[in-house]
Amino acid sequence: MNSALSKPLEARVMLAVEKHLAVQQQLFYEARILDEERFDEWLSLLTDDIRYRMPVTERRFRKDRSAPLAFGGGYIFDENKVRLGMRIGRLQSGLVWAEDPRNMVRRMINNIEIWQGAEANEAEVYSVVTIHRSRIDGEEKQFVAGRRDIWRETDQGWRLSVREMLLDTAVVLDSNMNTLF
Amino acid sequence: MMKPSELIDQSTGAQRRKIYSDQGIYEQELERIFGRCWLFLAHESQIPKPGDFFRTYMGEDDVLVIRQDDMSIKAFINSCTHRGNRLVRADRGNARAFACNYHGWAFGLDGSLANVPLEREVYFNEIDKNQFRLVPVDRLSSYKGLIFGCFDKDAPSLEEYLGDMRWYLDAALDAFPDGTELIGATQKVILHTNWKLPVENVCGDGYHLGWSHAGAMKATQSGDLSGFTVGNTGVDLEGGMSVAGLNGNSVLASLDGVSGYAFYPDPALALKYLNENRTKVVARLGKFRGEQIWGSQLNMTVFPSLQFLPGLNWFRVYHPKGPGKIEMWTWAIVEKNMPDELKQQILDNVLLTFGPAGLFDNDDGDNLASCTSQSRGWRTGQMPVYTNMAIGRSGKRVGLPGDIASGIVSEHNQRYFYRRWQEHMEAKTWSEVPQYNLNSLETKDEQRTVQTA
Ligand code: FES
Ligand SMILES: [Fe+2]
């Protein structure tokens, strides 16, 4: 997950200050509209070719000698725009009883790094997201994930085209991950 | 503590809610159910090479399953014989030996104590290393690729334990000579539920599908399931069956041969595979299983805690962590000779529907947790809950093992699950646990009896 970071520091290029701020602002804005369940607006922040992926995490020895899994570990999220639309369609169907009454969700975005991406109009963005959810009586749960994004500058502004997420737990501690990172 | 005979009333389908929250009952379950039954450990395909290991649980005991150099399989309690530290902390991998983190004792793949640091200096070479081998799981046996372990020397063989359930299991595990494999990483989720609630949900509860999962069904469904409709507004009882009375094991089956793939947004590849292989499977399994079971939406349950759904293709085991908590582990199960493209699609779809962020699983977790918490109160603890749907309406179907109720919306299988639970909880030893395979194909027709719980 550290393709840009594998470059030596001096080879990395920062964005111009205004662009840097615009991308950073976009991250916070995105977090807020998700907290506010403005899912259609969130969908419109994604490029049509969005890749949205989170692999299953496993605990392995550092010196593990076993062959990699034939089909990979699998992805908790491996979504394109159609599948994200399907998830949002479910949430908006009015038939998801676990979301009614609504869960209170707050996303915190930290450790933001913004670098010039591979294409001139792209930014490569690293961040850490903490999702705090208050569900059912007195139950508060937290997910922490590292993210690597590609944001693309378009006529409409900055749009998300890649999000790779790594969840920091091998055992998911909440009964569902019915949320977007 | 109430006696098991007072906790389940088979004539009314009632259970005392205490069975979901009482610590004493839970401890007795660890002894009489998890300490006695054959429990799923791993699939042979997960440890293909010498030195491959897989870490799992039997009840609350940590267990290590290891492929040996001669390709046989051994299983041990994953606990160092010195001071009891957990030996291996990785989920799986490959190793030549396992060194304990605490003082460095090292064990071989075969469980032997291979090395003790400072053996000469501090043990004066007097330690009998043979005495400190890893403790093996008492019994180990495989059925068509599935490795099971058992702590009870007196348990019947795995074949007897599965009983006539094998006839149904084979439609999923033995449709082809190459059998099946599990793919993907282990998806682990903590649920705050008693372990029996997810088992009863999957073993027989077709009732919740159309309601609990209405939103998910609307989003993913591409085909019909037994004339089933979103929102629980209609159901066709002729389209499926609930099969139980097989030593506590059970099947829920739709009977159309294709609906396993009804919850794939695009089932074209899977349907093509079913089409191309149907004749071969019919030749191997016979007409009924080949045409009406293979490819159908099926819920298979091996008592107490292994469940898998051929078609949707998830494969799952529940590990209890106290009366109100479990770890739920899920993989994708595929037939080995499926094309790679289809296997990949199945793994993707399992995660879309039943992974940690699965559209269906996300509906069930809170219901199971709430059924558990609603058994903890002073008043709720005394109250019953019911699985009383269609009592007395099951019977025999010619040519099929088990006591069978019509349709996949029934509480027939749940009643047999709780009946088995009660039989184990009442029995002090295996010899007191009744064995029954109702309407066995091995029995002559006139000897068959239909018992309703
Ligand atoms: S506890 Fe394992 S070496 Fe001492
Ligand atoms: Fe369900």
pLDDT at residue B233 above 80? no
Q: Which two tokens stand for residue B143?
A: 């059925």
* Calpha distance B249→B162 (Å, rounded): 7
Which of A71-80, B138-147, B310-319 bottoms out in mean pLDDT, i.e. has the lowest? A71-80
Residue numbers of B annotated as active site:
103, 205, 208, 213, 364
Q: Read off the pLDDT of each residue in B272-280 and give the average, rounded to a whole number.
A: 97
Among B102, B129, B135, residue to substitute to test ligand 1 (most atoms within 8 Å of Cβ)? B102
Of B79-93, B347-361, B407-421, B439-453, the range with the lowest mean pLDDT is B439-453
Q: What is the mean pLDDT of chain A?
A: 91
What digits encode the pLDDT tens for the residues A24-51?
A: 999 999 999 999 999 999 999 999 999 9
pLDDT bin (cut points 50, 70, 90) of residue B232 is low
CATH tag for B39-141 (out of 3.40.50.300, 3.30.930.10, 3.40.1390.20, 2.102.10.10): 2.102.10.10
Give the nearest chain A residue to B218 (CA atoms). A90
In the DSSP assignment, the letter for residue B430 is G
* B361, pLDDT greater than 90: no
Element (H, E) at B310: none
Angstrom distance (rounded) from CA A50 to CA A40: 15
Encoding tokens for residue A110?
Answer: 């930290």
Q: Measure B362 CA to nearest chain A CA, in Å.
A: 5
Are B63 and B47 in contact by the 8 Å Cβ rule? The answer is: no
Evaluate if residue A169 carries a pLDDT over 90.
no
Q: Is B85 in the pocket of ligand 1 (CB under 6 A)?
A: yes
Which residue among A75, A90, A94 sits closest to B359, beta carbon to beta carbon?
A90
Mean pLDDT of B263-275: 91
Predicted pLDDT of residue B217: 83
Which superfamily does B4-24+164-447 belong to? Naphthalene 1,2-dioxygenase Alpha Subunit; Chain A, domain 1 (3.90.380.10)
Query: How many Å lie between the centroid of ligand 2 and the Cα of residue B451?
Result: 28
- Asked if pLDDT for residue B451 goes beyond 80, the answer is no
Distance CA A140, CA B192 (A): 13
**What's the pLDDT score for residue B449?**
42
pLDDT above 90: residue B238: no
Domain at A23-60+70-167: CATH code: 3.10.450.50
Residue A74's pLDDT band, with cuts at 50, 70 and 90, is confident
Nearest Cα residue to B293 out of B391, B401, B387? B401
pLDDT at A75 over 50: yes
Which residue of B180, B362, B373, B376 is the best one to mutate when testing the A interface, meaning the one whose CB has the most A CBs within 10 A?
A: B362
Task: Convert the pLDDT of each residue in A104-146 to its tens digit.
Answer: 999 999 999 999 999 999 999 999 999 999 877 777 889 999 9
Kind and range of the H or E element at B357?
none
Residue with tokens 């149904």: B168
Query: Which residue is closest in CA terms to ligand 1's atom 3?
Result: B103
Q: Tens of pLDDT along B38-81?
A: 999 999 999 999 999 999 999 999 999 999 999 999 999 999 99
Q: Which candidate, B320, B191, B187, B170, places its Cα nearest to that of B251? A: B170
Q: What is the model's pLDDT at position A6?
A: 63
Distance of CA B366 to the CA centre of its chain: 21
Lowest mean per-residue pLDDT among A156-160, B193-197, B254-258, B384-388 = B254-258
User: H or E segment at B127?
Assistant: none
Query: Per-domain residue ranges for chain B?
Result: 4-24+164-447, 39-141
pLDDT band of residue B360 (cuts 50, 70, 90) is confident
CA distance B166 to B155: 17
| CA-based nearest distance B214→chain A, Å | 6
Domain boundaries defined on chain A? 23-60+70-167
What does pTM read for this prediction?
A: 0.93
